[in-house]
């Protein structure tokens, strides 16, 4: 039986009388590469925000690595091994690559002294950040100012910064948004490399070619409800998924989902 790292049970969330997430439950197996997909407005980013503690659910529970984390703040979830990226790059453009990676180490801060030592030129924090870049085959970038780098490289840097918190699970919100095909292929190989270190990966993504090449399982939302949980190979043929993306008139005529 596959061990579960994340379990969502009967999650619901509304805003101003609009039900955005409606009684949603699914599991994420430990070590999986899994996708959360659905049409625009389906509630995917809201689910991410409920998982990571940006929002508190109206009902339901979030269980991470065997612990109920529903009511604990997001910073404590990072310490427990949950890290995420956002749709828009949130790097500090005026800082160097290694300095941005060091910002991701905040979850390891345990004392006032720990907050000061990263400022030292050869602190262990800097050495660890440089080592992480080397592990991810990005050792040529540490001193480069982020603003001068190509968009695809900055996307990878944001993922590495999330890895600096030493996560058990990495949640990526549309990591391929804005990337060209070659950059997307490079990102896919990069995420496989991360997965091979034992990190569980959950992505929200519209690029179905990336989803199919990276993930073996997909969960599909529509209007905040779970309509599919299964293989990425079969998702594009599921009747409910086809109807959600294409509408009932066209679902039978089309045989493929384009997120």
* Alpha-carbon distances, residue 204 vs 70, 94, 137 (angstroms): 21, 28, 25
Going along the chain from its start, the domains and CATH numbers come out as: 1-81+168-259 (3.40.50.300), 91-166 (no CATH)
- Would you call 20 helix, strand, or coil by DSSP? strand
Whether the per-residue pLDDT at 43 is higher than 80: the answer is yes
- Would you call 74 helix, strand, or coil by DSSP? helix
pLDDT at 117: 52
Give the pLDDT confidence of 165-175 residue by residue, as tens digits. 889 999 998 88
Taking a C-beta distance cutoff of 8 angstroms, is the pair 32, 194 a contact? no
* Alpha-carbon distances, residue 161 vs 128, 188, 201 (angstroms): 12, 17, 15
pTM: 0.84
Residue range 208-228: mean pLDDT, rounded? 94
Taking a C-beta distance cutoff of 8 angstroms, is the pair 119, 206 a contact? no
Give the pLDDT confidence of 100-152 residue by residue, as tens digits. 888 877 655 555 555 445 455 567 788 888 888 888 888 877 788 988 988 88
């Amino acid at each position: 039986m596959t061990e579960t790292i994340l379990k969502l049970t009967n999650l619901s969330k509304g805003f101003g009388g609009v039900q955005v997430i409606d009684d949603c439950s699914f599991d994420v197996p430990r070590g999986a590469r899994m996708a959360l997909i659905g049409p625009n407005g389906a509630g995917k980013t809201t689910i991410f925000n409920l998982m990571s503690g940006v929002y508190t659910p109206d009902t339901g529970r979030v269980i991470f690595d065997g612990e109920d984390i529903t009511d604990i703040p997001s910073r404590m979830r990072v310490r427990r091994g949950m890290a995420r990226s956002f749709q828009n790059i949130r790097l500090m453009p005026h800082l160097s690559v290694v300095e941005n990676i060091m910002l991701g180490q905040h979850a390891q801060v345990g004392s006032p002294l720990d907050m000061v030592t990263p400022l030292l030129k050869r602190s262990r924090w800097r050495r660890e950040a440089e080592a992480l870049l080397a592990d991810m085959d990005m050792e040529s970038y540490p001193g480069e100012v982020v603003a001068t780098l190509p968009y695809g490289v900055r996307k990878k840097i944001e993922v590495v910064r999330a890895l600096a918190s030493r996560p058990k699970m990495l949640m990526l919100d549309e990591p391929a948004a804005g990337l060209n095909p070659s950059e997307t292929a490079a990102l896919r190989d990069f995420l496989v490399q991360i997965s091979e270190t034992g990190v569980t990966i959950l992505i929200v993504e519209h690029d179905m070619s990336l989803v199919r090449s990276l993930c073996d399982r997909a969960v599909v939302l529509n209007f905040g409800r779970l309509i599919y949980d299964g293989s990425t190979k079969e998702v594009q043929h599921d009747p409910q998924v086809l109807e959600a993306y294409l509408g009932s008139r066209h679902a039978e005529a089309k045989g493929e989902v384009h997120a």
